[in-house]
Amino acid sequence: MSPSEMPLGMPGQSPTETPSASATTMTPQETSNWIINKLQPYTNITTTGPTMVANRTANELVLVPRDTRSLVARVTLAVDAQRHVPLRARIFARNYANPAFETAFTQINFSPPNPAQFNFTPPPGATVKEAQPHRPPPGAQPPVVVGKGWTSVIIAKMPPRATPSPRTASPSPSGPPATSPPATSPPAGTTQPGTAPASPGGGLQIENLPRVSGPWGSGHLLTSRLITILFTDDGRVLAGAVPPPLLYAAAAQR
What whole-number distance in Å separates Cα of residue 239 and Cα of residue 237? 7
What whole-number distance in Å separates Cα of residue 231 and Cα of residue 20? 26
* Residue of 252, 248, 202 lying closest to 223 (CA atoms): 248
**pLDDT tens across the length of the chain (254 residues):** 444 333 333 333 333 333 344 445 678 888 788 888 888 899 999 999 899 999 999 999 999 999 999 999 999 999 999 999 999 999 999 999 999 999 999 999 999 999 998 998 899 999 999 888 888 777 777 899 999 999 999 999 987 665 555 554 444 444 444 333 343 334 444 444 433 444 444 457 899 999 999 999 999 999 999 999 999 999 999 999 999 999 999 999 87
Cα dihedral 148→43→245→237 (10° resolution): 50
3-state percent helix, strand, coil for the chain, nearest multiple of 5: 15, 30, 55
Cα–chain center distance at 218: 23
For 212, the 3-state DSSP assignment is: strand
What whole-number distance in Å separates Cα of residue 254 and Cα of residue 249? 9
Cα–chain center distance at 91: 11
pLDDT at residue 35, as a whole number: 80
This prediction has a pTM of 0.68
Environment class of 89 (CB within 10 Å of its CB; exposed 0-12, middle 13-18, buried 19+): buried
What whole-number distance in Å separates Cα of residue 137 and Cα of residue 105? 37
